[in-house]
Structure 1
Amino acid sequence: MLTGPQKRFLRKEAHGLQPIFQVGKGGVNPNMVSQISDALLARELLKVSVLQNCEVPKEEVAEMLSERTGSELVQLIGRTIILYKESHKNKQIELP
């Protein structure tokens, strides 16, 4: 579980990142979850964009991705989800 200062730090770190995944009409599928999990192991912090044609509410998409990838939901702002998962092999971000 992330604390408030840690979430603020991660939001600041994610500010310059571009979303590398998009959730569209098909919603969240197992292939997408595995790709996001792999990306989290490599990057630790990433953004996911929820497209307007997505039939699942963005809050549910954020919750599903967080649960299924074992990551922490840092922020849901607009249609952008920020996820964080600490990588033990490829540690890049040092939390305060």
Structure 2
Amino acid sequence: MTKTKAAKPPVLTNPQKKQLRSLGHELAPVVLAGREGLSANLIAATRAAFKTRELIKIKIGQNAPIQREEAAAELARESGSALVQVVGRVLLLYRPNPELPAEKRIAL
């Protein structure tokens, strides 16, 4: 794991989580956790995904040596994001990005 200081995660209300879950329903996973588990590369890929979007899906592969709850908490903490939902082996994370153009930002 990397030990860099992550940004403070946003605190989401239940209505905000509900809105984000509905937006995330149509998204495809952009990060895949594989055999390496919670590696520095996985955390870097998660952070990189947040540079171009605010809401991302992460899929935990069948052969990943990590539990989904552990992965969700660790990735959210390391990326400075809020955990929105865990469904099966798919995680939904949100982190606001003020540098994105207005049309790409999510209004909560």
TM-score (norm 2): 0.84
RMSD, matched Cα: 1.0
- The answer to whether the Cα contact below 8 Å between 1:48 and 1:82 also exists between their aligned partners in 2 is yes
Instruction: Please identify which structure carries the higher helix content.
Output: 1
1:67 corresponds in structure 2 to 77
Task: State the identity as a percent.
Answer: 37
Distance in 1 between residues matched to 2:31 and 2:15, nearest whole Å: 26
- Written as runs of structure 1 = structure 2, the 5 A alignment for 1:20-31 is 20-31=30-41
2:107 corresponds in structure 1 to 94
TM-score (norm 1): 0.93
Q: Does residue 81 of the first structure (1) align with residue 78 of the second (2)?
A: no
**Counterpart amino acid of 2:61?**
L
1:34 corresponds in structure 2 to 44
Kindly tell me the number of residue pairs found equivalent between the two proteins.
95
**Counterpart amino acid of 1:23?**
A
1:8 corresponds in structure 2 to 18
Q: After superposition, what is the alpha-carbon deviation per residue over 1:11-57, rounded to whole angstroms, capped at 9, x for unaligned? A: 00011100011111210111221221121121000100001111111
**Structure 1: unaligned runs, 5 residues or longer:** none
**Counterpart amino acid of 2:26?**
G
